[in-house]
Structure 1
């Protein structure tokens, strides 16, 4: 998602007595397209909040005349929908954490170095969340509408039956169970297979579309052994990608795709049924153009029914995914991280096994964003997330927990094992070339472990964050293992390493 396409829809108020801080923040927000206003006078701010409440209020804790609690309560009385971003010192982080459920969305460290870009980063993330929340609500509405349409199709069956006693009755009796069969699918792959199972005796293949690598890969087939499609696929070039949607709309395929189908499966000529879900190409069913008209008609009618149910399934999955997934990296989000971390600590306590957390941050992220833009930043985050996922164990959990922070939850991993894993990951990233121009980046990592270094899910998260912050302040591209205070006593002992 590019929030710049929607930033003009959001209003941001900036409140700080320090003009050297407030003015650059206001300018950066305005240049990014936000409807931004800067206030030094608390009375003028209050009037502005009452007249037209902003989506976001960025304020410096140093500008407050009363207590933080009084300020937060006052803003929430004016409008409890306002999201707040505080600019505060490191010492105030623990206090501000207590206001997480009171409209607080983020805290930015009070340091004038790149303060405008750091606040802009935070505002972007909050606005993206607001926009996605709205989108989520729309998805629910679309989902309910889709279910209502499907229900009305089945509910209208008796009327159709009465108006056309023989043909319509047979059609309704046939369609109703097929809708139920498709709606029983547990996944997109399951629904694709159900469609192929419902086809008459013929050869048909489904190729899943992988946009990130510009490829189609065969995943399902009917009429031929599954072993015959293993490893079958085609990669498109940039020119093919430009014409892909227009070709698919006409039921055509890129020439290299057609040549492969003709050579491998003797489709003459290959015919295509592209599968879309809410304007996103999911894949394509391909078959030979030599099939007779009656068979082709039956196939396309079945496809129309399946694609409607498929779109409905995708809506349901998207609604579920938005609740737990970060849309940029496709990792789990912070809400899921907090939930699963608490569960894993409870399990570790019960089994008397260690549990480690590794926090990961991309070095020089603000400089990358400022010089290369948001799109490059997001692509780098996605690439790093993909490497972390590929090098993880089955039971590891990886989440995006902040704008420039990913967290690895490592069950049954001691501090030594986690540190080794972190260093291996650091070296992999350091030795990998990213983007088309071979760009090099590095990461910093903070490591902590329960029960040796902390005593709860909360402190496990906090100590890993402290270790990460410490090493980033030292220049980055290193790992840091948190050191427990001498007063810490582990709840149980783990075997010596």
Structure 2
């Protein structure tokens, strides 16, 4: 995410007795889009905290008249949602670590060099974490709200069907809900919706924004062969007006003409399908359908849309369980699960499986001197470099605080070593952060079956290789050497 798109939503107070430094910090933050204020008087701070509490309070420990603990407790009594960034001498860092559970987001050295930039970096990372946290809370609220709507619709539908004998031949609402909830994918759910409106000719066109196109993927009442390769590309102008057109129940002219000519939908009508507020496609039907068929379609769509929204939210929640917050790579839990599957597949196909473990050199020195915010930004940048170097079937993970892992199916130890060296050189030749910071990495490589015999030993041997080369000074790769007693389960062809 880009925090600059959202910085205006955050209020930041800077509290320090150093007038020049505080004013400079306030200007730096305001230029970045934050609603920033500089306060040097304790009484004024007290008043402002009570009247308009900020999201973030940046304060200098040297400014405090009393104990740090008293200050923190007092602020949290006023508003326990205020988060802190402390500016302090290096000697106090260990003490300040004890306040992490009291809303401390970061601690910054009070050295004068580039302090405004360092404060801005810390504020950026803190606000990014808060924004994502707010998003996750909203996601769970949306999920619960959708489930509640689903329950309400279910209850109302059961009551209504008791008074409608003509609906007796149709599956009950509980059965239809169960049918949708058993779907394994979005595509499966779309097809189940179309199956539920038998007798009505209806098509689904998937929206591909990257190529400005609608492509037919599903249909009811139309032979599957008739929709293969059918689609319509929009002009740039039509893309701009698409949202407004759909809101008015209209379609782009060229798309509408194609539907009339190819499928005799005259006039064509469309129901847009959204997921996570993004257009995913259109259900298209004929405007000449009788009112009973239209009522059946819209009734079924209401139920389908609630189930579809619930499905999308559940999948998004599932993603949170397997994703690392900082790097947006998969996390260690997912890595442990997938490694057993990957080794089993490699054994079955008699194809090699390699992994490359990567650590940032001087990781803890960077963390202690520049702070967690800079550390996280460097990890995120490193993860981006790794992702850009990956093939389609490769997967990448954050498996420890200072360990990223590349899983490379169908890749021998030689190929993995070459890949690792390529990544090392890219990182070595790149500059990170706005200040042009340079970093280096160490990489450990292992491969099944040439160097080990299981998912567990594949992980362990790569970790040993990484630890060995990191201890030697880093900025190199190390290929694990198997013991002479090791016998591969199958031979890997020479490259």
Q: Distance in 2 between matches of 1:492 and 1:22?
A: 64
| Partner SS for 2:282 | strand
1:302 aligns with 2:296: no
- Decide whether aligned partners of structure 1 residues 196 and 115 sit closer, same or farther in structure 2, where only a CA change above 3 A counts: farther
- Decide whether aligned partners of structure 1 residues 463 and 157 sit closer, same or farther in structure 2, where only a CA change above 3 A counts: same
Q: Distance in 2 between matches of 1:7 and 1:490?
A: 58
Deviations 1:90-125 (A, max 9, x none): xxxxxxxxxxxxxxxxxxxx9999776576456434
Q: Displacement, 1:192?
A: 0.5
Kindly report the root-mean-square deviation, in angstroms, between the aligned alpha carbons of the 2 structures.
Answer: 5.4
1:41 aligns with 2:62: yes
Query: Which structure 2 residues correspond to residues 75-86 of structure 1 after superposition, within 5 A?
Result: 75-76=99-100, 80-85=101-106
Q: Distance in 2 between matches of 1:298 and 1:417?
A: 58
Q: Which residue of 1 aligns with 2:74?
A: 51
- Decide whether aligned partners of structure 1 residues 138 and 206 sit closer, same or farther in structure 2, where only a CA change above 3 A counts: same
Q: Which residue of 2 aligns with 1:72?
A: 97
Which of residues 243, 248, 262 is equivalent to 1:250?
Answer: 248
Q: Which residue of 1 aligns with 2:7?
A: 7
Which of residues 438, 445, 449 is equivalent to 1:449?
Answer: 445
Assess if the C-alpha contact under 8 Å between 1:271 and 1:287 holds in 2. Answer: yes
Deviations 1:50-94 (A, max 9, x none): 33354242556x52347x2x4322x14xxx152433568xxxxxx
1:63 aligns with 2:90: yes
Query: Which structure 2 residues correspond to residues 330-409 of structure 1 after superposition, within 5 A?
Result: 333-334=328-329, 336-343=330-337, 355-357=354-356, 391-393=391-393, 396-399=394-397, 408-409=406-407
| Partner SS for 1:252 | coil
Q: TM-score scaled to structure 1, two decimals?
A: 0.64
Which of residues 175, 180, 183 is equivalent to 2:181?
Answer: 183
Q: Displacement, 1:418?
A: 1.8
| Partner SS for 2:250 | coil
1:148 aligns with 2:148: yes
Q: Displacement, 1:463?
A: 6.0
- Decide whether aligned partners of structure 1 residues 115 and 346 sit closer, same or farther in structure 2, where only a CA change above 3 A counts: farther
Assess if the C-alpha contact under 8 Å between 2:260 and 2:266 holds in 1. Answer: yes
Q: Displacement, 1:242?
A: 1.9
- Decide whether aligned partners of structure 1 residues 358 and 244 sit closer, same or farther in structure 2, where only a CA change above 3 A counts: farther
Q: Which residue of 2 aligns with 1:131?
A: 131
Q: Which moved more, 1:249-258 or 1:342-351?
A: 342-351
Q: Which residue of 2 aligns with 1:231?
A: 229
Q: Distance in 2 between matches of 1:175 and 1:220?
A: 23
Question: Structure 2, unaligned stretches of length 5 or more?
Answer: 37-55, 77-81, 361-380, 427-438, 453-457
Deviations 1:215-235 (A, max 9, x none): 322221223333333333333
Assess if the C-alpha contact under 8 Å between 2:356 and 2:445 holds in 1. Answer: yes
Q: Which moved more, 1:308-317 or 1:336-345?
A: 336-345
- Decide whether aligned partners of structure 1 residues 445 and 30 sit closer, same or farther in structure 2, where only a CA change above 3 A counts: same
Name which one, 1 or 2, has greater alpha-carbon Rg. 2
Question: Structure 1, unaligned stretches of length 5 or more?
Answer: 89-109, 362-379, 429-442, 472-479
Assess if the C-alpha contact under 8 Å between 1:449 and 1:460 holds in 2. Answer: no
| Partner SS for 1:416 | helix
| Partner SS for 2:331 | helix
Q: TM-score scaled to structure 2, two decimals?
A: 0.64
Q: Distance in 2 between matches of 1:461 and 1:137?
A: 41
Q: Distance in 2 between matches of 1:456 and 1:168?
A: 65
Number of residue pairs matched by the alignment? 419
Which of residues 302, 313, 319 is equivalent to 1:315?
Answer: 313
Query: Which structure 2 residues correspond to residues 275-294 of structure 1 after superposition, within 5 A?
Result: 275-277=273-275, 279-294=277-292
Deviations 1:239-275 (A, max 9, x none): 2122111111122111232233334434333221111
